[in-house]
Structure 1
Amino acid sequence: MTEAALEKFSAEFLTERLRASGALPRGRVTAVDVGERRPTLISTSAPLRLDYSSDAPAEAP
């Protein structure tokens, strides 16, 4: 994943994708924290920590 691709993962984008997959039936992603980036030869990976609105289910991914 490139640095530019990481920018794609906004709170709005992730809310839409999680809703579409059925993983977030209510509530929304309110913040995305991109963790330490780990570059490799062909990509960059990074963990994402998501914060949710108070009405999101406790088991939200």
Structure 2
Amino acid sequence: FSLSNEPLYVVDGVAVEPGPNGTLSWLNPHDVASIEVLKYGASTAIYGVRGANGVIVIKTKGSH
């Protein structure tokens, strides 16, 4: 549980910690199939307290 106001990042169903300034430098942009932003009720309903500040859901092309 974090006291920051950063959103939760989820890549292919796995919560990940972003780098400085929210970067995901290890993720190749060409591999991204979709990005979904969940906020308010939707994020907390699915991810609980961890999603209280919103959730960035990233699916890569290989995950489908």
Indicate the TM-score class for this superposition, using the shorter chain for normalisation.
0.3 to 0.5
Structure whose residues are more often helix by fraction: 2
The structure whose RCO (Cα within 8 Å, separation 6+) is larger is: 2
Structure having the higher Rg: 1
With structure 1 as the length reference, what TM-score do the two structures score?
Answer: 0.32
